[in-house]
């Protein structure tokens, strides 16, 4: 599939769409708790899932590649999706967790891409 065939579908923003959903505002979106400190069983399950995955794939220095963490999370919990927590990408979700540290390593000299590594914060 070529890039020009891929398109993004935006959520409806008209007042009619908001009324159809029963919301007062067309731009309103449910935001579940995103960190364990904000409370909620879902946030606690997220912490357990991310902690277990990061610990399992961590290297000797304690850092784990986010790609490996994401693969293990998907294997252990096939229904996991960072969009359920209000984030488009796993990296954005992990950055918001107070119990995780994130390190960015540039990939190449001029490329804007980076490799993300995560580890548990030390108490």
Judge contact between 65 and 116, C-beta under 8 A: yes
Q: Is there a domain that residue 111 lies in?
A: yes
Of all residues in the chain, the percent with pLDDT exceeding 70 is 68
CA 40 from centroid of its chain's CA atoms: 17
The CATH number of residue 61's host domain is: 3.30.420.610
Q: Is there a domain that residue 24 lies in?
A: no
pTM: 0.67
Q: Is there a domain that residue 11 lies in?
A: no
Q: Is there a domain that residue 42 lies in?
A: yes
How confident is the model over 89-108, as pLDDT tens digits? 999 999 999 999 999 998 87
Q: In what order do the strands lie in the sheet with 114-120?
A: 64-65, 114-120, 100-106
**Count: domains in the chain:** 1
Match 């490329």 to its residue by tokens: 111
How confident is the model over 29-69, as pLDDT tens digits? 445 545 555 568 888 999 999 999 999 999 999 999 999 99
Domain extent, residue 75, equals: 36-120
Q: Looking at residue 35, what is its pLDDT? A: 54
Q: Is there a domain that residue 6 lies in?
A: no
Q: Which secondary structure element, helix H or strand E, spans residue 44, and what is its range?
A: helix 41-57
């Amino acid at each position: 599939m070529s890039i020009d065939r891929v398109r993004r579908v935006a959520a409806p923003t008209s007042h009619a769409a908001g009324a159809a959903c029963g919301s007062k505002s067309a731009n309103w979106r449910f935001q579940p708790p995103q960190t364990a400190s904000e409370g909620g069983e879902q946030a606690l399950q997220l912490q357990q899932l991310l902690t277990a995955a990061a610990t399992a794939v961590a290297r000797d220095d304690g850092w784990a590649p986010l790609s490996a963490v994401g693969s293990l999370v998907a294997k252990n919990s096939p229904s996991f999706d960072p969009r359920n927590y209000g984030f488009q990408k796993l990296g954005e979700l992990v950055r918001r967790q107070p119990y995780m540290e994130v390190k960015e390593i540039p990939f190449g000299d001029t490329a804007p891409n980076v490799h993300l590594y995560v580890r548990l914060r030390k108490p």
